Amino acid sequence: MEGLSSLYVSIVVVAVAALVYAKYAASKISAYELGNERVKELSSIIQSGAMAFLYREYKALSGFVVVVAAVLAFYRGMPTAACFVGGALCSALTGYAGMKVATKANGKTSFAATKGMNEALGIAFKGGSVVGMTVVGVGLMGVFIAYMAFGNVASGDVETIAAFGFGASSIALFARVGGGIYTKAADVGADLVGKIEAGIPEDDPRNPAVIADNVGDNVGDIAGMGADLFESYVNAILAAMAVGFVAYKGQSLELQELQMKSVVYPMLLSAVGIISALLGTFFVKVKEGGDPQKALSRGLYTTGILMAAGTFFLTKWMFGGVEMFWAVVAGVACGVIIGQITEIYTSADYASVKEIAGASVTGTATNILAGISVGMKSTVAPVLFICAATLIGYWAGGTYGAERSISYWGGGMYGVACAAVGMLSITGMVLSVDAYGPISDNAGGIAEMAGLPEEVRGITDRLDAVGNTTAAVGKGLAIGSAALTALALFVSYASTTGLDKIDIMDAKVIVGLFIGGVLPFIFSALSIQAVSRAAERMIEEVRRQFREIPGIMDGTARPQYEKCVDISTAAAMKEMVLPGMMAVIVPLVVGKILGAAALGGLLGGSIVTGVMMAIFMSNAGGAWDNAKKYIESGQHGGKGSAPHAAAVNGDTVGDPFKDTAGPSLNILIKLMTVVSLVMAPWFPLK
Amino acid sequence: MEGLSSLYVSIVVVAVAALVYAKYAASKISAYELGNERVKELSSIIQSGAMAFLYREYKALSGFVVVVAAVLAFYRGMPTAACFVGGALCSALTGYAGMKVATKANGKTSFAATKGMNEALGIAFKGGSVVGMTVVGVGLMGVFIAYMAFGNVASGDVETIAAFGFGASSIALFARVGGGIYTKAADVGADLVGKIEAGIPEDDPRNPAVIADNVGDNVGDIAGMGADLFESYVNAILAAMAVGFVAYKGQSLELQELQMKSVVYPMLLSAVGIISALLGTFFVKVKEGGDPQKALSRGLYTTGILMAAGTFFLTKWMFGGVEMFWAVVAGVACGVIIGQITEIYTSADYASVKEIAGASVTGTATNILAGISVGMKSTVAPVLFICAATLIGYWAGGTYGAERSISYWGGGMYGVACAAVGMLSITGMVLSVDAYGPISDNAGGIAEMAGLPEEVRGITDRLDAVGNTTAAVGKGLAIGSAALTALALFVSYASTTGLDKIDIMDAKVIVGLFIGGVLPFIFSALSIQAVSRAAERMIEEVRRQFREIPGIMDGTARPQYEKCVDISTAAAMKEMVLPGMMAVIVPLVVGKILGAAALGGLLGGSIVTGVMMAIFMSNAGGAWDNAKKYIESGQHGGKGSAPHAAAVNGDTVGDPFKDTAGPSLNILIKLMTVVSLVMAPWFPLK
């Protein structure tokens, strides 16, 4: 194909541009003068806690990476092992960079808030955009390098570069599970003993778990979310490349060129997304007294529109027809719509959350039942939109392919895969907005702990509230892309094994379907129990400090923050092992014993129940959280009333749902599929 | 085939024997003298409430039956419509007979308890066995008549007689959902206002909802459970007949004979099961001072052993080989083992329930999280045993079939279907033991309300406790058979449509899988919300009566029991419509629009998530219930302590889980599959 090298150059240029932007934003944050010693100290305590966690996590995971790499080298060759290590390293790198900047931006945001809303928004959003741009820049660059080095298209060896995604996925799963356990143990410990038993306000420096709680926000929402979207991002691209490669296989010169284009197109889509996001960041500005919500939405929608326009021209130029454009737009729309649906079920502006708040009046049991019902109901609409995006992508890609004598099925599945890439192409902007949330949250905590004036906290609270709303889009992407990417990976798996069908009338496939279906349940149970156990230890420690250290309550003695940080860290390290290993080992065992088709059934079953359970738990948790906040805003008796107590119980139940089990499932289903893809030739066909 | 008519005669004789036994046991109960006017009166109030509910339910459903029959007559011909009506009528008939006898046996059991344990056990178990034997007798007879009248084997028209199962399933779903809403609304209303707010004991005659509560036990556990197992029973037989017919199709004389045998074999298996159960009933006897638990277990295990022995000889005689024997034994064993597993997760003798009780010490939120974890974890082992039974059945049937030049797949799926028949063949005994539970429970309630001496309540409580333990086997059958029967029906569906595969690499099948997967979630949400709404109305009514009717509390005024009965009845009628209609309509719409393969995906998806959710919710609910009872037995502070309050909340959350949503899902998945089977030719193949 002519002009291929210029396309390659443009991919590299765009990826580098994202990284340059990230570096520039980070240096801006570094250069910002922090004129308050107490804020500086608190920020650095949080930073050292967060970095200590990352360090211990990566140290533990390096063992895992080495072992898996050795196994891969043995069974699948050195290139596969190299890709795996590369994916893991890139994921760790983005986690490290994001965490470093975010924990620097938090204190500076609270200090900036003493000067005004716009200045604070600027710092917080810059911090977020470092996370966002690092993820997409490293992601695209990593995929490109893996592709150039090992993506030997001629040999049809798609599972080698898929190992890059495997590396990213495994780090992401551990980061999500570990981060989720860390943050919820700290949160529950700080709330239950501090707020309820000792009666001190949130983020009060007298609370021994307050630092762990603030570290937890970073560990969960920066490192966890970043690794999550990094994994989605690279896997969507890799899956689409793999499906395109398989679908457009053929002897004719025309087909060979189309195949090449189909492999490169997903990377170009991502490049268009990055450019759109870079341009979009310029729209996130607010005048003093203006609405930060509008600024963020403006940035997001500008990015979406630029992405759509860019895709249109790219598609027309590359493929002649615009069918694939519709597939991509279906993906983008699906992600945004699921975000809106998430909002409808979890925001206090809508009926569901109010219903839960109302049910709190008759007690905890009715609050719980109402929350569970809302969570279950909330699965329907997202699933239908995922189905719609799948069918549109399938129709678009199938029609295009069929016109070029490609099987309708092959072209169609390529369309589905491109819908996933489209959905994730705006990750740069979405994650910037998403990461901005915990930075503002932390800034508020620091303002509180440092005793900054009331109005500072007012500004950070407002920034934080805005972040929460806009973050719904991030959740939408995480859910929608998990389903579509898992499907695309699943198709690559099936094509790579050489199975001509995965027939659910076959007894072994049925058995696989059942085993796969049960995995999200056991996985959720394990992570919920892990949070409970860790929270219990945290509760005991906080109680012990209040009891044994005199002077904590009157502020004359400093609590032992480090002890609490240690408990969260140790618990996260220990408890992430079992669910993480399960995700890697079960597919291998089932595939080896029952064969490739049964493993296909397992993946299908786990994707179906995994998606349902992820939506159910994330939304139930979000709805409980906001029902509590709604009551705290003065409804049904407000803070301290019996309904409030019921709602606090609901929120506590929802915490591990929404921040540990739910989001981890999104990664679980992809990790299991990508493991199977990488090891595909290892499984017997009969 | 020679001797076919003598086989037919023996099927009829056995079915009649079951009915004669039921009639005999019922007349024994009728003849038993009830020498206490107050008991007589209470029993008749409960009976009239229960019969009034049945009457209204059947009246409402008759409209549904007529409409569906008309639609079936139009699209699928008169025989299909006739089978459908027959199945619905048979289900209603068993519900009517069972309810009539059970609500007569309850009062007589409490009176018998004044004379001793053995006499009370005798009446209660006789009442249960009327329910059990009616279900299997009517079931086998109904299937046989449908088969003789419309089972035109030569034309290969298996979906006609499947309509008999469709009729049974639809009545069962409405009975389960409606009954579940009825009983839980009454239960929650009686407990929350009576026990907690007014502080009067359980079953106190001053509680206005007490009659509704006792009626509810019959409506849910007698009529609901009876319709449930009736539906499982006939659908398992029908599915196996259908699969056998399709699998053993062939030109050679030998194959034609084998085909005939394969179609008759499931009915003969059921006949052997009935004979075993009839013999087993003679072992349910206890000496004064003896252990009723042992008596029931003895009856159950004797039945199981006789069934296995009878199957061995039947199989050897019919098929020459004993492979199918292993399939049947795998089914029986799977049902019993799942029952044991249920016990391990839900009985206070084991760690899980104790863990939930322990978690109640730190409050409601931890109790809820612990219960949810236990429920989720409890899905794993049953699913693995269902997988094992599937693989054994598949291997056994496949090996046997392959030796006779039948496709391994066809013979294998026939083996899976026969495993389901085997599991359910002991339904006669299992249901006798199961229905005995609510009779003893009611007897205890009546003893309390009638003010019988303490020791009478002691005996009925002991009988009740025993029933609860043994009922675990019934739950095991309900869960295990739901999965296997749904699979067998699913295979019949696929064969009948003429699909050669249902390939989950196909986008439409994937979409079907997702839509199917989401249905159990929305279905559960709807039924949980229905219970909440109905319970709220009940709570208001009970509060109103306490407030407005002076003299209730000192026993001088009679509460308006009928009002509470009305509320439960009306709520059940109204709230069962939406979930019930959904189950019938959604498969038809998806099948018509997206085609037969997508509908196959839908069925597969709903079976997988349906089975998981059913196990999760049933076991979480059971575990919460027993954790509460465990605390009430004096652990962690006993009744009235803070942990007890937390456990009561957990139990209230669990109520709609275990008695409404969970068990209804077992029927939902079969109903959707059998609807699709009956309408199979209506769906486009592409």
Using the beta-carbon criterion (under 8 Å), do B369 and A528 form an inter-chain contact? yes
CB within 8 Å: A514 and B368: no
Amino acid (1-letter code) at residue A555: G
Has residue A373 got a pLDDT over 90? Answer: yes
The model's pLDDT over B403-431, given as tens digits with 9 standing for 90+, comes to 888 888 889 999 999 999 999 998 898 88
Q: How far is CA B268 from CA B143, B154, B239, B492, in A?
A: 12, 21, 14, 20
Would you call B468 an interface residue with chain A, using a CB distance cutoff of 8 Å?
no
Position A60 scores a pLDDT of 87
Nearest CA in chain A to B377: A522
Q: Which residue of B has its CA nearest to A379?
A: B518
- Residue percentage of chain B with pLDDT more than 70: 98
Per-residue exposure over A426-454, b if at least 16 CB sit within 10 Å of its own CB, e if not: bbbbbbbbbbbbbbbbbbbbbbbbbebee
Instruction: Please answer yes or no on whether A528 and B487 come within 8 Å at the CB atom.
Output: no
Q: Would the pLDDT of B611 be above 60?
A: yes
Query: If pLDDT is split at 50, 70 and 90, which confidence band does B347 have?
Result: confident
A81/B285 Cα distance (integer angstroms): 68
Q: Tell me, what's the pLDDT at B156?
A: 54
pLDDT of residue A1: 52
Q: How confident is the model at residue A152 (pLDDT cuts 50, 70, 90)?
A: low
Residue B374: band (very low, low, confident or very high) from pLDDT cuts 50, 70, 90: very high
Q: Average pLDDT for residues A3-7, to the nearest whole number?
A: 82
Burial of A70 (0-12, 13-18, 19+ CB in 10 A): exposed
Give the model confidence (pLDDT) of B177-201 as tens digits. Answer: 888 899 888 888 888 787 777 778 7
Minimum distance, in Å, between the CA of residue B166 and any CA atom of chain A:
21
**Tens of pLDDT, residues B332-345:** 999 888 988 998 99
Q: How far is CA A656 from CA A187, A382, A531, A620, B632, in A?
A: 10, 21, 7, 11, 29
Closest among A353, A451, A448, A452 to A114, alpha carbons compared:
A452
User: How deeply is A655 buried, as exposed, middle or buried, from its count of CB atoms within 10 A (0-12, 13-18, 19+)?
Assistant: buried
Provide the Cα torsion A573, A576, A582, A584; round to 10°: -70
When comparing pLDDT for A17 and A441, which is higher? A17
Taking the C-alpha atoms of residue B426 and residue B439, their distance in angstroms, rounded to an integer, is 21
Taking the C-alpha atoms of residue B45 and residue B65, their distance in angstroms, rounded to an integer, is 30
What would the mean pLDDT of B84-111 be, rounded to a whole number?
A: 93
Q: Hey, which residues 310-369 in chain B have their CB within 8 Å of chain A?
A: 359, 362-366, 368-369
Measured distance CA(A293)–CA(A291) in Å, rounded: 5
Integer CA distances (angstroms), B361 to A194, A339, A567, A665, B153, in order: 18, 38, 22, 30, 63
- pTM for the full predicted model: 0.93
Query: Could you tell me if A84 and A166 are in contact, meaning their C-beta atoms sit under 8 angstroms apart?
Result: yes
Backbone angles phi, psi at B503, to 5 degrees: -95, 120
CB contact set of A523 (below 8 Å; sequence gap of 6+): A579, A582, A583, A661, A664, A665, A668
Inter-residue contact B496 to B599 (CB < 8 Å): no
Give the integer Cα–Cα distance in Å for B68 and B66.
Answer: 6
Does A179 score more than 60 pLDDT? yes
Q: What is the pLDDT of residue A614?
A: 95
Of B439, B459, B438, which Cα lies nearest the Cα of B118? B459
A405: exposed, middle or buried (C-beta count within 10 Å: 0-12, 13-18, 19+)? exposed
Is A468 part of the contact surface with chain B (CB cutoff 8 Å)? no
Question: In Å, how far are A34, A119, A459, A563 from A38, measured between CA atoms?
Answer: 10, 20, 19, 21
pLDDT 10s digits, A445-457: 898 888 888 888 8
Q: 393-432 in B: which are within 8 Å (CB) of A? A: 394, 409, 412-413, 416
Closest among A676, A517, A584, A454 to A177, alpha carbons compared: A584
CA atoms of B567 and B573, how far apart (whole Å): 10
- Three-class SS of residue A667? helix
Eight-class DSSP state of A290 = S
Q: Which residues of A511-538 are buried (b: 16+ CB within 10 A; e: fewer)?
A: bbbbbbbbbbbbbbbbbbbbbbebbbbb
- Top mean-pLDDT range of A105-119, A183-197, A370-384: A370-384
pLDDT score for B367: 94
Range in A41-50, A457-466, A514-523 the model is least confident about: A457-466
DSSP A305: H
The tokens of B35 are what?
């020498």
Give the per-residue pLDDT at B157. 67
Residues 499-558 of A with CB under 8 A from B: 499, 501-511, 513-518, 521-522, 524-525, 528-529, 531-532, 536, 539
Each residue of A536-571: pLDDT tens digit? 888 888 889 988 888 888 888 888 888 888 888 888
Which span out of A187-196, A534-543, B138-147 was modeled with the highest average pLDDT? Answer: B138-147
User: In chain A, how many H helices and how many E strands?
Assistant: 22, 0
Structure tokens at B572: 């059940």
Nearest CA in chain A to B620: A525
Lowest mean pLDDT among A119-123, A293-297, B65-69, B354-358: A293-297
What is the pLDDT, as a whole number, of residue B475?
Answer: 77
Measured between CB atoms, which of B365, B412, B524 is closest to A652? B365
Find the length of chain B: 686
Q: In terms of DSSP H, where are the helices of B404-453? A: 408-425, 427-449
Identity of residue B551: G
Q: What confidence category does residue B152 fall into, taking pLDDT thresholds of 50, 70 and 90?
A: low
Within 8 A by CB and 6+ apart from A634, the residues are: none
Nearest C-alpha neighbor of A496 from the set A265, A240, A679, A668: A679
Given a cut of 70, is residue B493 above it in pLDDT?
yes
Task: Concatenate the DSSP letters of all residues of B44-111 into one string.
Answer: HHHHHHHHHHHHHHHHHHHHHHHHHHHHHHHHH-HHHHHHHHHHHHHHHHHHHHHHHHHHHHHHHHHH
How far apart CA B93 and CA B99 sit, in angstroms, is 10
Indicate yes or no: CB of B510 within 8 angstroms of CB of A524: no
Provide the 8-state DSSP code for A176. Answer: H
Nearest to B387 among A413, A514, A648 (CB): A514
What distance in Å separates the CA atoms of residue B174 and residue B673, rounded to the nearest whole number? Answer: 16
Q: Residue B469's pLDDT band (boundaries 50, 70, 90)?
A: low
Instruction: Find, in chain B, the residue whose alpha carbon is nearest to that of A532.
Output: B366
Q: Which is higher by pLDDT, A611 or B442?
A: A611
Look over chain B and give the mean of its residue pLDDT values, rounded to a whole number.
89
Contacts of A571 (CB under 8 A, 6+ apart): A181, A182, A185, A530, A533, A534, A537, A538
Closest partner CB to A522 (pick from B377, B517, B608): B377
pLDDT score recorded for residue B305: 92
- CA–CA separation, B481 and B239 (whole Å): 12
A303: left (phi over 0), alpha (psi -120 to 50) or beta: alpha
User: Residue A270's closest CA among A481, A547, A549, A493?
Assistant: A481
Please give the residue that has the higher pLDDT: either B387 or A685.
B387
B154 pLDDT above the threshold of 60: no
pLDDT for res A52: 87
Q: Give the whole-angstrom CA distance, residue B666 versus residue B686.
A: 30
* pLDDT digits 0-9 by tens, A626-654: 999 899 889 999 888 999 999 999 999 99
pLDDT at A157: 67
Tell me how far apart the alpha carbons of residues B519 and B524 are, in angstroms, rounded to a whole number: 8
Please name the residues in contact with A147: beta carbons below 8 A apart, sequence gap of 6 or more.
Answer: A161, A241, A263, A267
| Cβ–Cβ gap B532/A601 under 8 Å | no
pLDDT digits (tens, 9 = 90+) for A385-410: 999 999 999 999 999 988 888 888 88
What the block records as the tokens of A161 is: 């570069």
Angle B323-B326-B327 (CA atoms, 0-180°, nearest 5)?
95
pLDDT band at B12 (very low <50, low <70, confident <90, very high): very high
Q: What number is the average pLDDT over the span B451-462?
A: 86
What H or E segment, with its residue span, contains residue B181? helix B158-189
Domain residue spans of chain A: 4-682
Cβ(A464)–Cβ(A258) below 8 Å: no
Ramachandran assignment for B595, one of left (phi > 0), alpha (psi -120 to 50 degrees), beta (any other): left
**Is the per-residue pLDDT at B621 higher than 90?**
yes
C-alpha span between B176 and B229 (Å, rounded): 11
Q: Are A601 and A586 in contact (CB under 8 A)?
A: no
- Closest partner residue to B501 (CB to CB) among A501, A608, A616 is A501
Q: What are phi and psi of A13, to 5 degrees?
A: -60, -45
Angle at A380 (CA atoms; ends A379, A385), nearest 5 degrees: 105
The answer, for B370 touching chain A at a CB cutoff of 8 Å, is yes
A69-99 residue pLDDT tens: 999 999 888 999 999 999 999 999 999 999 9
Average pLDDT over residues A570-594: 91
Percent of chain B with pLDDT over 90: 48
**Sign, CA torsion B143/B145/B151/B154:** positive
The per-residue pLDDT for B285 is 78
Amino acid type, B98 = G
A253-273: string of b/e by CB count within 10 Å (b at 16+)? Answer: eebbebbbbbbbbbbbbbbbb
Residues 6+ apart with CB under 8 A from A394: A412, A413, A415, A416, B507
**Is the per-residue pLDDT at A150 higher than 90?**
no
Determine the 3-state secondary structure of B503 from DSSP. Answer: strand
